[in-house]
Amino acid sequence: MNKILFLFVLILTTSCTERKSTEAEHVATYYKGFKKGDYKQISAVISDTLTIIEGDYTMVFTPETFYRQFKWDSVFKPVYKLVSLENRDEHIVAAVSVKSLRFEFLKNNPLTCEHRFHFKSGKITKIENLDCMDADWQIWQKERDSLVAWIKFNHPELDGFVHDLSAKGAMDYLNAIELYKNRQFKREK
């Protein structure tokens, strides 16, 4: 009886360790997909429904709608670096550093955040943004609000770019940044 109980505990421990190892590999694959610009790699590890929580804001995606988000993000030429992966409270927590044209403009480049990953049936189902340890949200908000207000007044055709999470919206965002920067250079001359 003791041998059977020992064998059961050994199998259970091994399967839990293997599951956490596989989950950590899925998180690494998820970020490799972003790093390589390969959505197929990302879609292989996410569930049919992916929920992303950032503060009070909850976004629910299908693989198709997440692809739209991926394309939006890609326009800003992000560079992802997986800083760490650890098992914490039955979940995988990843620290990720991201540099991008948008974060550069918002004076938070790179932006390093921790994310908690939830799994169901071996797929990523939910990602919670836990903390962005090096973020200065006051500067972020000041830069974003200045840009939005200036564009609304000077280039109303681009108004709303900040809420348009399509590839076109991202292109408008970059265009708005460029126009805003050029405004500053014209003033300095």
pTM recorded for the entire structure? 0.82
Walk along the chain (189 residues) and give the pLDDT tens digit of each residue.
Answer: 554 444 343 344 444 444 555 899 999 999 999 999 999 999 999 999 999 999 899 999 999 999 999 999 999 999 999 999 999 888 999 999 999 999 999 999 999 999 999 999 999 999 999 999 999 999 999 999 999 999 999 999 999 999 999 999 999 999 999 999 998 656 544
- Cα–Cα distance for residue pair 135/106, rounded to 1 Å: 10
Those residues with Cβ within 8 angstroms of residue 150's Cβ, 6 or more apart along the chain or in another chain:
180, 183
Instruction: Report the run of H or E that residue 87 belongs to, with start and end.
Output: strand 79-88
- Rounded-to-integer distance, Cα 176 and Cα 182, Å: 10
Report in angstroms the alpha-carbon separations of 184 from 32, 107, 147, 181, 188: 37, 16, 12, 5, 6
Domains and CATH numbers, the chain: 2-134 (3.10.450.50), 136-189 (no CATH)
